[in-house]
Amino acid sequence: MGSVWSSPERPAYPHQALAVVLQVRVRRLHVMLWERPNEPFAGAWALPGGPLLAEETLGASVARQLAAKVEVEVLGHLEQLETRSDPGRDPRGRTVATAYLGLIPAHLDPALPEDTAWHPVDALPPTAFDHGSMVRSALDRLRAKLSYTNVGFALAPPEFTIAELRELYVAALGYDVTATNLQRVLLRRGVLEPTGEQAASGRAGGRPAALHRFVTPELAVTDPFAVFRPPSRDPDGQSRSPGYEG
């Protein structure tokens, strides 16, 4: 098949799928970039990705292209971000690009190709095309979702202590959160659960930390939103407002 029924009224465009892959490494949030050897933007750093092929969806495409950089199994999460269509975004000719957000748990350290490396998101090298602003979009999305979903599961190892999880959240959010509050909030929302086991206490001693895990290893919205919730589901539909009579 391929690109059927293209015509002057229905122009067609090369489409690329790009991935903003994020991972917390040594307490800092990093993004995976590769260095362009050729013009345009020779020497600048770009997001992994490439052309959308004839029979694949964008999601499949980004996964396929990522496989050229890392094993796909390391990906904890992948979701569509946004599509950029500025006719001038590539000086060689028009392309449309759809960016995805990918997350890799912190306990993995996949091997990368020669031209590819991790860069701290708060100190990016010169970036190619509009990829810098795509990283920014991904960051915003991740930070927002850390609060009202369980995306954290895609940044964390299968089991972890609260202190370790806190490090991940601090790195990803870019500001401090307390372990106490993090634990209570995530537990109450049913996002986290204790495994029952505990980690070995560190070299300096200290009370051994309880191990936790994310209850569901897939994206779920925990608290839809703070305001204008649907009226609270009546627990047993009876005897509200006890002091009410006549």
Partner DNA sequence: CGGGGTTTATGACTATCAGGCGAAAACCTC
Partner DNA sequence: GAGGTTTTCGCCTGATAGTCATAAACCCCG
Note whether 233 binds DNA by CB under 7 A. no
Buried (b) or exposed (e) across 137-174, using 16+ Cβ within 10 A? bbbebbbebbeebbbbbbbbeeebbbebbbbbbbbbee
User: How far apart are alpha carbons 22 and 118 in whole angstroms?
Assistant: 9
**Using CA atoms, how far apart are residues 238 and 235, in angstroms rounded to an integer?**
8
Q: How far is the CB of 182 from DNA (least distance, A)?
A: 8
> Nearer to DNA by C-beta: 89 or 143?
143
How many amino acids of this chain bind DNA (CB under 7 A)?
Answer: 34
Is 224 near DNA (CB under 7 A)? Answer: no
Q: Which does 82 bind (CB under 5 to 8 A by kind): a copy of itself, DNA, none?
A: a copy of itself
Residue 158 to residue 170: CA distance in whole angstroms? 18
Residues 33 and 46: beta-carbon distance below 8 Å: yes
Amino acid code (one letter) for 63? A
Pick what 207 binds: a copy of itself, DNA, none; C-beta below 5 to 8 Å, kind-dependent: DNA
| Residue list 155-184, contact with DNA (CB under 7 A) | 161-163, 177-181, 183-184
| Minimum CB distance to DNA, residue 149 (Å) | 13
* Nearer of residues 59 and 110 to a copy of itself, judged by Cβ: 59
Which does residue 195 bind out of DNA, a copy of itself, none, counting CB within 5 to 8 angstroms by kind? none
Specify whether the CB–CB gap between 106 and 156 falls below 8 A: yes
- Our CB check for DNA shows the closer of 91 and 235 to be 235
Cβ pair 134, 53 in contact under 8 A = no
What's phi and psi for 137, nearest 5 deg? -60, -40
CA–CA distances in Å: residue 231 to residues 188, 227, 234, 235, 242? 20, 11, 8, 12, 19
Total residues belonging to the chain: 246
**Residue 150 binding result from a copy of itself, DNA, none, given CB thresholds of 5 to 8 Å by partner type:** none
Question: Which is nearer to a copy of itself, 1 or 204 (by Cβ)?
Answer: 1
- How far apart (Å, rounded) are the C-alpha atoms in residues 98 and 81? 7
Q: Which residues bind a copy of itself (CB under 8 A)?
A: 1-6, 9-15, 51-59, 61, 80, 82-83, 85-87, 92-94, 96, 98, 144, 146-148, 169, 173, 175-177, 182, 185, 223-228, 230-231
227 binds DNA (CB under 7 A): yes
The smaller minimum CB distance to DNA, of residues 34 and 169, is found at 169
Could you list the residues that contact DNA (CB under 7 A)?
Answer: 161-163, 177-181, 183-185, 188-189, 198, 201-210, 223, 226-229, 231-232, 240-241, 244
